[in-house]
Amino acid sequence: MTSRDTHLRCTFIPPWLAERVDGPERAAYDDELRLRRGAIARSALATAPGGAAWTVHDAASRTSLPGTPARRTGEPATGDVAVDEAADGIAATLAMFAEELGRNSHDDVGAPVSLTVHYGTDYNNAFWDGTQLVFGDGDGRIFERFTKPVDVLAHEFAHAVIEHTADLTYRGQSGALNESVADVFASCLKQRLLGQEAGEGDWLIGEGIFMPTVQARALRDMAAPGTAYDDPEVGADPQVAHMDDYVVTTADNGGVHLNSGIPNKAFQLAAIAVGGRAIEGAGRIWYAALAGGDVPPGADFATFAAATVAAAGEHADAVREAWAQVGVGPGASGVGTPPRAPAGRLRVERSGGFVGRTQVAEVDLDDPAEPDLPALVADALARPVAKASPTHPDMYLYTFTVAGHAPVSIPEHQLSPTQRELARRLLDGRHDA
């Protein structure tokens, strides 16, 4: 899809097929979202402060970044649907942050934005790596291309904004806040493109990211965390919506995608209570808290909640009540004892990613079918990443656990060759837990 109306009709899913699968109302909704997305993308080129530039690169199914430049600010549509979706999406996202929040690019001083599409082969993820917004094409079996829902792009750009404001540590409650704030601005963009007020929004994140054969409405539901999908193959949506159900885990950087449902629900409730368009009401409150200097990198839910109440002005009571409804208040830490790995076995977890799914595999260390396994494990555990090493939002995290050793957690971009081989060997389906 592109910013030109003639190209907008040439969608990845033919309109007649979309109508047959999803019904006339769904198809009309999709058409409206695409048209508004294109219109705002056109206006963004002229209205973004300082003419904030962006470049979309094509990785050509490789994993070298950034790839070959494919489209820059002001250039016409290319006909490559992923390139043009990314171009329209970043222009619309920059426009929202500029026009509604007065922010000039992610760093607020007009930094050019670099995006990469067609990353890897059948890559089921999107992420911000500290420099680049990166999008896979999906595997075509479970996931569509990750540029298709515009809120996925806004979510990843918001991670960059977070990095340049509160810089919320990507672990535990601060990591869940990092994920939630990214969802907040993703939903705000979607509703803005559709011209909706908070009470009219569907609050779905990543709608359309699953293939039609998957029993799913979206990846997450901010209004009802834990209800977005329930499919025999991908399982049921595991998000939680209240502190009573807070998940204590070593996976997914401490459950950042699971527990983000709690602040997500708080924002949805606050946005409805404040009223009007989400970005103009609760969105500005959340942004003021994020950028106001009172939220430290390691903030827990209660600390962030207090900052939003302080920034809410006449809406302070409504915001305070929204947090109370999800069980967040002074002293709500959610800290507990992490589970222990089974003895005598190697356990490998791959967690995180934009979709927040966790894959787990285990194998006995004395498995005769894996005679070189002990040596590989010894090498893998001897090469942990330094504690100061950053974990970027939405990149995969690999955790290796063996009895008698502390778990070793490695961001995907820092895996050693041995660790990568172990992960490949165990997570290929032969050793499912």
Task: State the pTM of this model.
Answer: 0.71
Q: Tens of pLDDT along 312-358?
A: 999 999 999 999 999 997 434 443 333 333 346 888 888 888 877 88
Active site members: 156, 257
Residue 317 and residue 382 in one domain: no
Helix (H) or strand (E) holding 177: helix 172-193
Q: Tens of pLDDT along 183-214?
A: 999 999 999 999 999 999 999 999 999 999 99
Residue 372 CA to residue 369 CA, distance in Å, equals 9
Would you place residue 125 in the very low, low, confident or very high pLDDT band (cuts 50, 70, 90)? very high
User: How many CB atoms lie under 10 A from the CB of residue 11?
Assistant: 17
Residue 395 CA to residue 418 CA, distance in Å, equals 19
Positive or negative, the Cα torsion across 40, 41, 46, 50? positive
Among the three residues 294, 325, 356, which one is the final residue of a domain in this structure? 325
Residue 296 and residue 401 in one domain: no
Assess if residue 97 is contained within a domain. yes
3-state secondary structure of 69: strand
Among the three residues 269, 297, 325, which one is the final residue of a domain in this structure? 325
Residue 271 and residue 178 in one domain: yes
What's at 346, amino acid-wise?
A: L
Whichever domain contains 296, its CATH number is: 1.10.390.10
Q: Is 384 left (phi over 0), alpha (psi -120 to 50) or beta?
A: beta
Assess if residue 222 is contained within a domain. yes
Would you place residue 3 in the very low, low, confident or very high pLDDT band (cuts 50, 70, 90)? very low
3-state secondary structure of 420: helix
Distance spanning both ends of the chain, measured CA to CA: 41
Residue 42 CA to residue 50 CA, distance in Å, equals 16
Residue 299 and residue 356 in one domain: no
Assess if residue 105 is contained within a domain. yes
Q: How many residues does the chain have?
A: 433
Assess if residue 181 is contained within a domain. yes
Residue 115 CA to residue 123 CA, distance in Å, equals 16
Beta bridge pairs of residue 346:
363, 402
Report how far Cα 158 is from the mean position of its chain's Cα atoms.
9
Residue 74 and residue 167 in one domain: yes
Assess if residue 90 is contained within a domain. yes
Residue 313 and residue 356 in one domain: no
Among the three residues 295, 325, 355, which one is the final residue of a domain in this structure? 325
Q: Tens of pLDDT along 97-110?
A: 999 999 999 999 99
Total structural domains within the chain: 2
Residue 415 CA to residue 361 CA, distance in Å, equals 17
Q: Are strands 235-236 and 345-352 parallel, antiparallel or unpaired?
A: unpaired
Residue 266 and residue 300 in one domain: yes
Residue 186 and residue 285 in one domain: yes
Residue 318 and residue 352 in one domain: no
Residue 389 and residue 245 in one domain: no
Q: What residue numbers bound the domain in which 360 lies?
A: 345-426
So what's the pLDDT on residue 15?
27
Q: Is 400 left (phi over 0), alpha (psi -120 to 50) or beta?
A: beta
3-state secondary structure of 2: coil
Residue 354 and residue 318 in one domain: no
Q: Tens of pLDDT along 258-298?
A: 999 999 999 999 999 999 999 999 999 999 999 999 999 99
Residue 44 and residue 150 in one domain: yes
